[in-house]
Amino acid sequence: MITPAQLAGMVDHTILKPETTTDDIHAHCAQAVALGVYSVCVSPSFLPIAPDWLHGVHVATVCGFPSGKHKAGIKATEAARAVTDGAEEVDMVLDIGNAISGDWAAVRADVSAVREAIPASVLKVIIESAALTDQQIIEVCTICADAGADFVKTSTGFHPAGGATEHAVALMRRTVGDALGVKASGGIRSWESAVAMVDAGASRLGLSGTAEVLTGGTSAGDY
């Protein structure tokens, strides 16, 4: 059975709401340190984060967020700037319209552009699994692996189709095997749902209500 400390070590403690302020980021980082999470995930406009706010907690950010409807070169530039500003990990949003239409070359180009822009950083690809069929999920995850991604990630937490499901996480894990990480995010608001995602194959969790999840409560919020 996983412990709260072990689960915390898998968490990207996330704050991506558009109304977020610098004071919110400071408080979020303080909570991240207190909870012992792996990283904070913040909007790129808040980078760089002062090291004395982090005390060893890693820094992640997003690009092409939340729609993914940005040209690949724009995502690449955004990701590169974020890394220059101190991000160690970048969660890019795939243009899922390309996956839905079966334009696999465009899917590959999207991921490859960002990978090439940040060759030494961790790249997670958000595929909005709830909006895709199982076969589309398999195709996208296979391409992400081939294009050099480090993780495939279920969701932004903003798409109306929904967030992470155990089924999607398990399918993503079966597709990528041990070669990539699988990040479950979007709608994970309780200890039980977080553990279920880990049991299904998630190696990282994106949580906004991290404190409530770790204490066995229920978070009312999302990203």
* Contact criterion met (CB below 8 Å) for 82 and 53: no
Residues 6+ apart with CB under 8 A from 22: 46
Which residues are annotated as catalytic?
91, 153, 183
CA 146 to the chain's CA centroid: 19
Token couple for 105: 């070359």
Strands (E), the chain: 11-15, 39-42, 58-63, 89-93, 122-126, 151-153, 181-185, 204-207
Question: What contacts 24+ positions apart, CB below 8 Å, involve 95-99?
Answer: 95/64, 95/68, 95/69, 95/70, 96/68, 96/127, 96/128, 96/131, 96/132, 97/68, 97/69, 99/127, 99/132, 99/136, 99/139, 99/140
Amino acid identity for residue 167 in this structure: H
Tell me the C-alpha distance between 216 and 210, whole Å.
Answer: 10
